[in-house]
Structure 1
């Protein structure tokens, strides 16, 4: 599978997620077992109106979405894999007015569990937060065929 196919799959997937659409998340890069998403800065995600700092919930959602979506870049066939565990360590507040990126990768795939790690950062390269997550593999048969075909880009 090439990188454009990965980007297309992840884009179709995050378009089905209300929270991802609401935050305006976009795919900026994808490779084998690697993915980068972008969270644009907006007034709706400000957690502290006095400083303009982004709410931690928006950062967590960005990282959870990147961590779950990177699975599409690691598996040939789409599987719906719900989050089992997600741990986020915040390093510093995100710089107001700037987008935040999340770079996720799969580092172990077993028959039942997928392990990921993710870093949220800004253009200067400073880490905003780190996370590790695990996702349960429930198999491609556990989801509606039409949904799987939509994400895989089949029948379009």
Structure 2
């Protein structure tokens, strides 16, 4: 079954993209929202993610993975919305500023947007938070390389578009 890219829900695309990434499946990341302007991803709390056993605080590397994934997913959605095509977009640079530790036993949310696309680079910004986006755990800015749609393999394209099987 061929999917019509003009009517393809970006949340479905984002969910499939995140599901293709082994580290995201292992962390239990789930896409809550996706549009041409933003992505919202949930990281559920797990004792396996604790970086500091005395406090129960999630390891900072897990927050970095959440931010990188949210930003990369925002790029995929923005490009798909604008060009109706899929592109590989590996991380070129990601800066994460940590503001406070995440509270134990609570999910962390990653909100990201792709705010600028050039011919070769996509630019993103993101916030990790728990109760309110106005009280962030971390803030990130990132840049992602744009690679030609022809470089996306057929199996990966079919997986993201929900085709085949």
* Interval of TM-score (by shorter of Structure 1 and Structure 2): over 0.9
Q: Does 1:99 align with 2:107?
A: yes
More strand by share: 1
Query: Residue 51 of structure 2 aligns with which residue?
Result: 47
Structure 1, unmatched stretches of 5+, are none
Query: Residue 120 of structure 2 aligns with which residue?
Result: 112
3-state SS of 1:105 partner: strand
User: Comparing 32-41 with 68-77, which one deviates more in the overlay?
Assistant: 68-77
Query: Residue 9 of structure 1 aligns with which residue?
Result: 13
Q: How big is the shift at 1:73?
A: 1.8
Structure 2, unmatched stretches of 5+, are 1-5
CA distance in 2, matches of 1:150, 1:139: 18
The one-character-per-residue Cα deviations of 1:95-148 (angstroms, maximum 9, x if unpaired) are 111000000001100110000000000024420000000000111101212211
* Alignment RMSD: 1.4
How many residues end up aligned between the 2 structures? 155
Q: Does 1:23 align with 2:27?
A: yes
Q: How big is the shift at 1:75?
A: 1.6
CA distance in 2, matches of 1:12, 1:32: 16
3-state SS of 2:9 partner: helix
3-state SS of 1:32 partner: coil
Q: Does 1:90 align with 2:94?
A: no
Query: Which of 135, 156, 164 does residue 147 from structure 1 map onto?
Result: 156
Aligned 8 A contact 2:86 2:152 in 1:
no
Query: Residue 3 of structure 2 aligns with which residue?
Result: none
CA distance in 2, matches of 1:108, 1:42: 34
3-state SS of 1:36 partner: strand
TM-score when normalising by structure 2: 0.89
Aligned 8 A contact 2:128 2:139 in 1:
yes
User: Comparing 129-138 with 73-82, which one deviates more in the overlay?
Assistant: 73-82
Q: How big is the shift at 1:152?
A: 1.9
